[in-house]
Amino acid sequence: MDVERLRIDRSSRASGPRRRRRRRFVPKLVIALLLVGAAGFFFRDWIADRVAQARLPIVETALVVRRPPASAAAIAGTAANGYVVARVRAALSADAPGRIVEMNVEEGQAVPKGFVVARLYFEEHEAALRRAESEVDAGKAGLARARAEKESSKAALRELESSFAAANASVREIEADRELARLQLDRADLLFEQGIATVEARDEARARFEVVDARLATARAQLESAEAALEEGRARVTVAAAQVEEAIARIEALVAARDLARATLQKTEVRAPFDGIVVLKDAEVGEVVSPNSQAGGSARGAVATMVDFKTLEAQAEVPESSIGAVEIGKPVRIILDAFPDHVYDGRVDRIWPTANRQKGTIEVRATFDDPDERLRPEMGLRIVFLDPGSAERAGKDRHRGDVLVVPEATLVRADGEAPRRALDGGPAEDLDGSAEPGEGAPETESYFAFVVRDGVVERRRVEVHGIANSRALVASGLEEDERLVIDPPPDLEGGDRVYVMEREE
């Protein structure tokens, strides 16, 4: 009998739980390893960055950018941003409230001075003007009639004066005849008393005297009548003269009424006050406009807005801390945001006598020396205030290609020191790279810069035209979009590897 088969194996019983525990531990270990591996895969870039930061020099970089020469010119000198504004600008409105019945302009239309931009309802005022003109014509006709009557009365007065003179002469003649007849009668009476003359001679002399005396009485009556007629004629002349004066005064009143009616009619016309361009049409036909329009009312306040483009100028808000560099008459260079490759020359025209307390700025206006059709009101711009002596070279060709611009902090001298300003305080126009060598072009200055490519730096010699306002204009040695180390460490050498920290441009 085989008794070995009857033995109890206690070793297998003891190892069973350990095996079960080992079986449970192995999957957990595998899962943990998988999680660690996945985390390492997904965060490998972050881990690599942390390792690189621990091992390599950390640097910031800046791009080499290409800028238009006008923008480069703005690097030097005191500068301020602003807008194109018009010194002569008008919001046109009617002098009286009314409804628009005619609109004769559109935005962008050029109109001469006196052009009828819009017309309000005018038929009632036009009829009143016609009536006033008719009354003036009637008054003129009445004046003509009064003057004719005055002339007629003057002519009649002259006739009466002639009649009076004739009657007066007749009286004097008859008085002489009566005196002669009286003498003859006295002589006949004397001769009759002396017995020389007969009774018939005396009676004939008496009869002749009586006839002449009767004629004298008639002549005197006629003279009195002529005198009365003369006074009446003089009175008629005076009345006619008064009627003429009355007619003249009446015409003046009628003319004033006509002018008032015409002025009232003209109030229905909105005319251009100067030669300019319509930049905004504020109302349309059928709308009611009023010069006293209040906010929230239904009536429009303006019909259109006009600008005299000949008066366009540059307006800028200059910080109070920089106003000392601005003087009236000082040359400026103006760069439009819309056309950064073109530079306008100008001069400071006005400096506002007060400052803006909230902004801490002072308004400055500059005129354009050569304005052109590109200028538009409210366009953004930048004004660079130059030294007076720099204007002599400002006219050189400023449109000869773009220039490279880098931050000043990317340049170092051969001894490792920060660069000195090659043209510190120099004319702003020397920084646009426009002048040719031998024609007053600025001299270049040599520096070094560290170019980063694939994490490796290259030490390169760089020639610059000048440095101002923390930026430098590159003459040679660099290419566009190359990345330069900002504030390179003193121990940095060409060929070193670096860790580049991302920097917002």
* Helices and strands: H and E segment counts in the chain: 5, 22
Q: Do 217 and 185 share a structural domain?
A: yes
Q: What is the DSSP letter of 489?
A: -
Instruction: Tell me if residue 449 falls in helix, strand or coil.
Output: strand
Task: Indicate the residue among 265, 296, 323 that finishes a domain.
Answer: 265
Q: Which residues pair with 363 in a beta bridge?
A: 317
Per-residue confidence at 431, pLDDT binned at 50, 70, 90? very low
Q: Do 275 and 240 share a structural domain?
A: no
Per-residue confidence at 136, pLDDT binned at 50, 70, 90? very high
- Spell out the residues 6+ positions from residue 94 whose beta carbon is closer than 8 angstroms to its own: 118, 120, 267, 268, 270, 289, 290, 291, 303
The answer to the question of residue 8 being in a domain is: no
Q: Radius of gyration over alpha carbons of the chain, in Å?
A: 57
Summarised one tens digit per residue, pLDDT across range 4-59 is 555 555 555 545 555 555 555 556 666 767 776 766 666 666 666 555 556 678 88
Tell how strand 58-63 and strand 499-501 pair up: parallel
The pLDDT score that the predictor gives to residue 97 is 87
What is the residue range of 194's domain? 124-265
Instruction: For the chain, give the mean pLDDT.
Output: 81
Q: Do 211 and 168 share a structural domain?
A: yes
The answer to the question of residue 414 being in a domain is: yes
Instruction: Please give, one letter per residue, the 3-state secondary structure of 277-337.
Output: EEEEECCCCCCEECCCCCCCCCCECCCEEEECHHHEEEEEEEEHHHHHHCCCCCEEEEEEC
Q: Do 234 and 134 share a structural domain?
A: yes
How many folded domains does the chain comprise? 4
- Flag the least confident range among 51-60, 175-184, 216-225, 447-456: 51-60
The answer to the question of residue 490 being in a domain is: yes
Instruction: Tell me if residue 270 falls in helix, strand or coil.
Output: strand
Task: Indicate the residue among 205, 237, 265 that finishes a domain.
Answer: 265
Summarised one tens digit per residue, pLDDT across range 61-78 is 888 888 765 555 555 557
The pLDDT score that the predictor gives to residue 130 is 93
Summarised one tens digit per residue, pLDDT across range 399-423 is 445 678 888 888 998 655 555 444 3
